[in-house]
A and B are shown apart, each in its own frame.
Chain A
Amino acid sequence: MIKLLHTADWQIGKLFGQFEPDDGALLAEARFKAVERLASLATENRVDLMLVAGDVFDAQGVADKTIHRLFHSMAGFEGPWILLPGNHDAALAESVWTRAVRLKAIPANVTVCLQPEPVLLESIGVAVLPAPLTQRHTYTDLTEWFASAETSDDMLRIGLAHGSVQGILAEDIDSPNPIAAGRAEQARLDYLALGDWHGTKQVDPRTWYSGTPETDRFRSNESGRALLVELSEPRAVPMVTPVATGQYRWHSEALALRVPSDVELALQKISAFGPADVVQLELSGQTDLDGYRRLCAAIEQARGKARSLLADLSALRLEPTAEDIDALKADGYLGEVIAELRASQDGADAEVAREALALLAGILDAQHAKAGGSL
Chain B
Amino acid sequence: MRLSRIRIEQFKKFRQPIEIKDLEPGLNLFTGPNEAGKSTIVSAIRAAFLERHRSGSVDDLRPWGDTSASPTVELEFAIGDTHYRLLKSFLGKRRCELQIGTQRLDSAEAEDHLAELLGFRYAGRGASGSEHWGIPGLLWIQQGAGHDIRDSVTHAMDHLRTALNASLGEIASSGGDSVLATVEAARNELLTPSAGKPRGAYAEAIDQEAALANAIRELDSEIAAYRQKVDTLAALRREHAADEAEKPWIGFREQERAAAEKLEAIGRVEETLATEKLRATQVDERIRLLHGQLETFGRQEKELETREAERESIRQRLEGATALVEEWQSKRAEAEQRHEAARETLRLARQADTRLSLTRELDAGRLKLKNAAEALARAETEQAALVELKRQAAVTEIKLKDLELLRDQHRQIRETRIRLAAAATRLRFAIEDGRSIGIGAESVTGKGERLLLETTTLTLPGLGQLEIAPGGSDLSQLRAEAKELADRHETLLQRLGLPSLEAAEVRHQTHTRQLAEIKTAEATLKALAPQGIEPLRTELAIQQARVEEIEQALSQLPPNTPHAAAFPSVAEAEAAEEAARQSLARINDSLHQAQLAAGKEQTAFETATRELAAARAVIDDPQRPERVAAANRDLVDARAEQSTLAARIEALTRQLAEARPDILKQDIERFRLSAEQLEKRFNERRDQLMSLQVELQTTGAQGLEERRAELARDHAQIQRRVEELHRRAAALDLLLKLLRDKRRALTQRLQAPLQKHLNRYLQLLFPGASLDIDENLSPRSLTRNGSSGTELGDFEDLSFGAREQMGIISRLAYAGLLREAGRPTLLILDDTLVHSDEERLAQMKRVLFDAATRHQILLFTCHPAKWRDLGVGARSLEAIRAEA
Residues of A in contact with B (beta carbons under 8 Å apart)? 13-18, 20-21, 24, 58-66, 92-96, 98-99, 102, 136, 329, 331-334, 336-337, 340-341, 344, 349, 351-353, 355-356, 358-360, 363-364, 367
Residues of chain B lying within 8 A (CB to CB) of residue A16: 713
Asked whether B630 is an interface residue with its Cβ less than 8 Å from the other chain, the reply is no
Q: Is the CB of A64 within 8 A of B179?
A: no
Contacting A at CB under 8 A, from B723-754, are 727-728, 730-732, 734-735, 738-739, 742-743, 745-746
Indicate which residue in A13, A17, A58, A356 contacts B735 across the interface (CB closer than 8 Å): A356
A341 to B742, CA, bound (A): 12
Instruction: For the complex of A and B, list the 10 residue pairs with the smallest distance between their C-beta atoms, beginning with the closest.
Output: A332-B173, A17-B716, A61-B705, A17-B713, A63-B703, A59-B705, A355-B731, A93-B234, A333-B742, A61-B704
Residues of chain A lying within 8 A (CB to CB) of residue B720: 18
Q: Is the CB of A64 within 8 A of B701?
A: yes
Q: Is the CB of A99 within 8 A of B174?
A: no
Asked whether B171 is an interface residue with its Cβ less than 8 Å from the other chain, the reply is yes
Residues of chain A lying within 8 A (CB to CB) of residue B226: 61
B724's closest neighbor in chain A, by CB?
Answer: A355
Residues of chain A lying within 8 A (CB to CB) of residue B227: 136
Contacting A at CB under 8 A, from B629-669, are none
Asked whether B105 is an interface residue with its Cβ less than 8 Å from the other chain, the reply is no
A99's closest neighbor in chain B, by CB?
Answer: B700
Q: Is the CB of B706 within 8 A of A66?
A: yes
A13 to B715, CA, bound (A): 17
A16's closest neighbor in chain B, by CB?
Answer: B713
Q: Is the CB of B709 within 8 A of A13?
A: yes
Indicate which residue in A15, A96, A98, A359 contacts B732 across the interface (CB closer than 8 Å): A359
Asked whether B717 is an interface residue with its Cβ less than 8 Å from the other chain, the reply is yes
Q: Is the CB of B732 within 8 A of A66?
A: no
Given contacts A15-B709, A61-B703, contact A367 B728 (CB under 8 A): no
Residues of B in contact with A (beta carbons under 8 Å apart)? 171-176, 178-179, 182-183, 186, 223, 226-227, 229-231, 233-234, 237, 693, 696-697, 700-710, 712-717, 720, 727-728, 730-732, 734-735, 738-739, 742-743, 745-746
A230 to B630, CA, bound (A): 123
Residues of chain B lying within 8 A (CB to CB) of residue A353: 731, 734
Q: How distant is A61 from chain B, measured CB to nearest CB, in Å?
A: 3
Q: How distant is A290 from chain B, measured CB to nearest CB, in Å?
A: 20
A17 to B209, CA, bound (A): 13
Q: Is the CB of A62 within 8 A of B703?
A: yes
Residues of chain B lying within 8 A (CB to CB) of residue A341: 734-735, 738
Indicate which residue in B229, B707, B739 contacts A333 across the interface (CB closer than 8 Å): B739
Indicate which residue in A61, A333, A359 contacts B708 across the interface (CB closer than 8 Å): A61
Q: Is the CB of A337 within 8 A of B717?
A: no
Q: Is the CB of B230 within 8 A of A14?
A: no
Indicate which residue in B179, B712, B731, B732 contacts A334 across the interface (CB closer than 8 Å): B179
A215 to B182, CA, bound (A): 44
Q: How distant is A336 from chain B, measured CB to nearest CB, in Å?
A: 5
Q: Is the CB of A332 within 8 A of B178?
A: no
B238's closest neighbor in chain A, by CB?
Answer: A93
Q: Is the CB of B183 within 8 A of A363?
A: yes
Q: How distant is B449 from chain A, measured CB to nearest CB, in Å?
A: 177
B717's closest neighbor in chain A, by CB?
Answer: A17
A90's closest neighbor in chain B, by CB?
Answer: B230
A14 to B229, CA, bound (A): 24
A283 to B734, CA, bound (A): 23
Given contacts A13-B706, A61-B226, A332-B746, contact A360 B175 (CB under 8 A): no
Q: Is the CB of A337 within 8 A of B742?
A: yes
Indicate which residue in B700, B727, B743 contacts A351 across the interface (CB closer than 8 Å): B727
A334 to B183, CA, bound (A): 12
A359's closest neighbor in chain B, by CB?
Answer: B731
Interface centre among B171, B175, B701, B706 (most CB of A within 10 A): B706
Q: Is the CB of A334 within 8 A of B697?
A: no
Given contacts A333-B176, A356-B732, A360-B179, contact A94 B703 (CB under 8 A): no
Q: Is the CB of A61 within 8 A of B172?
A: no
Q: Is the CB of B175 within 8 A of A61?
A: no
A336 to B727, CA, bound (A): 22
Given contacts A94-B696, A333-B739, contact A58 B709 (CB under 8 A): yes
Q: How distant is B92 from chain A, measured CB to nearest CB, in Å?
A: 55
Q: How distant is B469 from chain A, measured CB to nearest CB, in Å?
A: 170
Indicate which residue in B182, B715, B730, B742 contacts A352 across the interface (CB closer than 8 Å): B730
Q: Is the CB of B735 within 8 A of A360?
A: yes
A48 to B227, CA, bound (A): 37
A136's closest neighbor in chain B, by CB?
Answer: B227
Residues of chain A lying within 8 A (CB to CB) of residue B182: 363, 367
Interface centre among B693, B700, B717 (most CB of A within 10 A): B700
Q: Is the CB of B173 within 8 A of A349?
A: no
Q: Other than the known A60-B230, A62-B703, A92-B234, what 7 A-B pairs have Cβ atoms closer than 8 Å?
A: A93-B233, A94-B696, A333-B745, A340-B742, A352-B731, A355-B728, A367-B182
Residues of chain B lying within 8 A (CB to CB) of residue A62: 703, 705-706
* Interchain Cβ contacts under 8 Å between A and B, 12 examples: A17-B712, A61-B706, A64-B701, A66-B703, A102-B697, A136-B227, A337-B738, A337-B739, A341-B738, A352-B727, A356-B732, A356-B735
Indicate which residue in B173, B709, B727, B745 contacts A331 across the interface (CB closer than 8 Å): B173
Interface centre among B223, B229, B742 (most CB of A within 10 A): B742
Residues of chain B lying within 8 A (CB to CB) of residue A136: 227
A18 to B173, CA, bound (A): 43
Residues of chain A lying within 8 A (CB to CB) of residue B738: 337, 340-341, 356
Residues of chain A lying within 8 A (CB to CB) of residue B230: 60, 92-95
Q: How distant is A160 from chain B, measured CB to nearest CB, in Å?
A: 22
Q: Is the CB of A15 within 8 A of B742?
A: no
Q: How distant is B16 from chain A, measured CB to nearest CB, in Å?
A: 59
Residues of chain A lying within 8 A (CB to CB) of residue B735: 337, 341, 356, 359-360
Q: Is the CB of B172 within 8 A of A364?
A: no
Interface centre among A60, A61, A63, A363 (most CB of B within 10 A): A61
A351 to B173, CA, bound (A): 27
Q: How distant is A97 from chain B, measured CB to nearest CB, in Å?
A: 11
Given contacts A61-B223, A64-B701, A352-B731, contact A94 B693 (CB under 8 A): yes
Indicate which residue in A15, A355, A367 contacts B710 across the interface (CB closer than 8 Å): A15
Residues of chain A lying within 8 A (CB to CB) of residue B705: 13, 58-62
A360's closest neighbor in chain B, by CB?
Answer: B735
A332 to B172, CA, bound (A): 6
A360 to B179, CA, bound (A): 8
B734's closest neighbor in chain A, by CB?
Answer: A356
Given contacts A331-B173, A337-B742, A360-B179, contact A24 B700 (CB under 8 A): no
Q: Is the CB of A364 within 8 A of B179?
A: yes
Residues of chain A lying within 8 A (CB to CB) of residue B173: 331-334
Residues of chain A lying within 8 A (CB to CB) of residue B231: 92-93
Residues of chain A lying within 8 A (CB to CB) of residue B728: 355, 359
Q: Is the CB of B176 within 8 A of A15?
A: no
A58 to B172, CA, bound (A): 63
Q: Is the CB of A61 within 8 A of B702?
A: yes
A342 to B822, CA, bound (A): 42
A272 to B651, CA, bound (A): 112
Residues of chain B lying within 8 A (CB to CB) of residue A355: 727-728, 730-731
B235's closest neighbor in chain A, by CB?
Answer: A93
A88's closest neighbor in chain B, by CB?
Answer: B705
Given contacts A60-B700, A63-B706, A64-B701, contact A94 B745 (CB under 8 A): no
Residues of chain A lying within 8 A (CB to CB) of residue B732: 356, 359
Q: Is the CB of B171 within 8 A of A332?
A: yes
Q: How distant is B709 from chain A, measured CB to nearest CB, in Å?
A: 5
Residues of chain B lying within 8 A (CB to CB) of residue A331: 171, 173-174
Indicate which residue in A64, A340, A349, A367 contacts B703 across the interface (CB closer than 8 Å): A64
Residues of chain B lying within 8 A (CB to CB) of residue A63: 703, 706-707
Q: How distant is B203 from chain A, measured CB to nearest CB, in Å?
A: 19
Residues of chain B lying within 8 A (CB to CB) of residue A24: 713, 717
Residues of chain A lying within 8 A (CB to CB) of residue B714: 17
Q: Is the CB of A352 within 8 A of B700?
A: no
Q: How distant is B343 from chain A, measured CB to nearest CB, in Å?
A: 143
A20 to B178, CA, bound (A): 34
